[in-house]
Structure 1
Amino acid sequence: MPPLDPNLYTVAWIAPLEIEVQAAKHMLDKVHSGGFPVGPGDDYLFHAGEIHGHNVVIATFAAGQRYGTSSATALAIHVKKFFPNLWFGLLVGVAAGLPNLSCSPKRDIRLGDVLIAYSPPGGDHPAIIPYGLGKQKGGSGFELLCNGHSLRQTERIVGSAIANIKAERRETQMILGYYRDIPETATKFPDPGQENDFLYLSADNLPISR
């Protein structure tokens, strides 16, 4: 296989699960053949390709590696070291739905929806807080631990791209267009339909209707 140059890749896509890697590879406009040089101390292999002219590397856990924050941290550190010219990294994966139909407006987020976890800081409050650095205190709110340290803010170029998409007000059609272009959408990643999505009350695990 021809060698690939780690210096040419500027975006890292971390996809922890195998099925997430398969979906990520379908999103590449072009797959780069070949492999990156591997030496002592290199614990991971990577997939590579292009999206809209950007060289992207896709990283995932090793087979049998325990899934969790410590594993994700180890992978992210290795990716940052292996690819010295990264602009930013994105963690993209399958998550549970988080619907709240009792609030106003309703937050109807279901399994299979696309959710971008980007939250700009508001006033004196940080944007995103690692869950291990705080605790919920009943009705008194959330208490920060470790002197209130928070995750670093999203790279400005990412925030600017999100702002442009929101300004154009066509993000839904853009995403659906990419989804329809995935070759194996009809078989590998089918949409089961909202009528097959059951919500369960956390108190008694009984399904509720939409």
Structure 2
Amino acid sequence: MKTASLDKFFNQEFDKQHYFKQSTKEIVKQHIEHTINLNESKNLLNKEEKEELQLDNNIEFTKELINVFEKEQILGLNPKSLLSNLFHKIRTLEYKKTSIDEFKKSGVLYFKLKHSCDEKTCKGCESLSERVFSIDEDINEILEHTCTSAYCRCFLQEITQAQEDIENALKKKQENKGKIPFKLIFLILALLSLAIFMNS
């Protein structure tokens, strides 16, 4: 479903890319919205045209697809993957915004970032996994400066009040681990004082 935020994210992400011709922005947008499909055409690149662009000769590429790119920017790359990455980046940005909006409506104050625990997960997302975020933090902005993948595959998990209480209790327990209880310290000091008094 087309939303204002999807339009915003499309404009934001398209303008960041150096692969695409700016003049083809509307065409790319129509592909992202599934109005057209740039991969469905019988007007395919031939072997020589693929070699000129250093493309994989085993993959079919339509000329309509190639025409939305600056050719010198895609040498040796996979244009299909570049377009697919743009689509998934926009969708994941929208997913996270929608999730946060739903959390706010439900009165959720905190959430966690969860990753898929596979080889595609980047180190940036791993470093943020399980961290507790305030509902007012802009997770998309945080990931923009942390995630090194073509698009973030993490999902958000709300933290209910019960979960928050449990996690705070566990955190407090962990912080207190290894600390000597105050009563024990008091007893040790009392015994030391008594020993000094007895030997004086």
TM-score category (smaller protein): under 0.3
Which of these two proteins has the greater Rg computed from alpha carbons?
Answer: 2
TM-score (norm 1): 0.25
Decide which structure has greater helix share: 2
**Which structure's residues are more often strand, by fraction?**
1
